[in-house]
Amino acid sequence: MLDPQARALIDLMIQKGVPPTHTLTPAQARQFYLDRRTFTQPDPPVMHEVRSLQAGGVATRLYRPADGVLPVMVYFHGGGWTIGDLDSHDVLCRQLAQASGCAVVSVDYRLGPEHRFPAAVDDCVAATRWVQAHAAALNVDATRLAVGGDSAGGNLAAVVCIALREAGATLPAFQLLIYPATDMRAVAPSHQTNGQGYLLTSDSIAYYRGHYIADEAQWSDWRASPLLAHSHAGLPPALVITAGYDPLRDEGLQYADALSAAGVTAQYVCFERQIHGFFTMGRVLDEANTAIALCGAALRRALIR
């Protein structure tokens, strides 16, 4: 069954007449996404330091939960490559930093439709390389660097790992993929079974994809669909998390399976009763906080020594 708290949230949104994302302009959708934070997100945890940075020409925000040289996760926010920013995921980045004991660098990559594919990929690769190169100045350990993201951000985290492997560059030590989009063709069975009624709908997926990718032929580019990469061998260990009532559930599982089949250490956890986006809803969904604690533990195991 659907988690009762998730059911209550969906029912409330229907009762309040909340407009579906695909009926809004990108500017309206971005503002609505920010406005909704106060209802669904917990209070922001206090950090030792929060600082704005320019990383490879990309705006970022550094979160440090403690002093000293820390492991670091470069984090890419969700929002369908169209909405979301440093503020929409401020609380989540603080929670992940607090839960893991790692610094977090949140990346404000360019969004569609103003900046289409592969602009977001280019920004995320550039920001990751910059953090690797400037680790000493940031008081973080480049040998204990992870990438992570939710939804579109999970897609970008997976793509960054493949891009760095293809370039022969230093790979992250870990990848945290939270309900990632991995196949732009949207052909996995969960797109049918979960395509309506659970916040993220097939209509919204088409809306986001249309703003991000102008040419359907690019759907098969691994920089858009990391599941379709020629190989998944040699990529960093991963934790892939999905939600049972999410259109993206099956392609997240498929990506975890592809990593495992290629010999990559990959763990997969599905929160069977949850909906897409639940990680940022810890004020109203208890399982969000459970999931963040799980991610924190995984990051500690992978990076803290």
Active site residues: 151, 246, 276
In angstroms, the CA 294 to CA 68 distance is 24
For the beta sheet containing 58-64, the strands, ordered from the edge strand earlier in sequence to the opposite edge, are 49-55, 58-64, 103-107, 70-76, 140-150, 174-178, 238-245, 266-275
In angstroms, the CA 270 to CA 180 distance is 12
Close Cβ partners of 166 (under 8 Å, ≥ 6 residues apart): none
Find the radius of gyration of the CA atoms of the chain: 18
Query: Which DSSP letter does residue 239 get?
Result: E
The two structure tokens encoding residue 224? 């858009």
In angstroms, the CA 26 to CA 114 distance is 10
Close Cβ partners of 96 (under 8 Å, ≥ 6 residues apart): 73, 75, 102, 104, 148, 292, 295, 296, 299
In angstroms, the CA 164 to CA 122 distance is 11
In angstroms, the CA 155 to CA 170 distance is 19
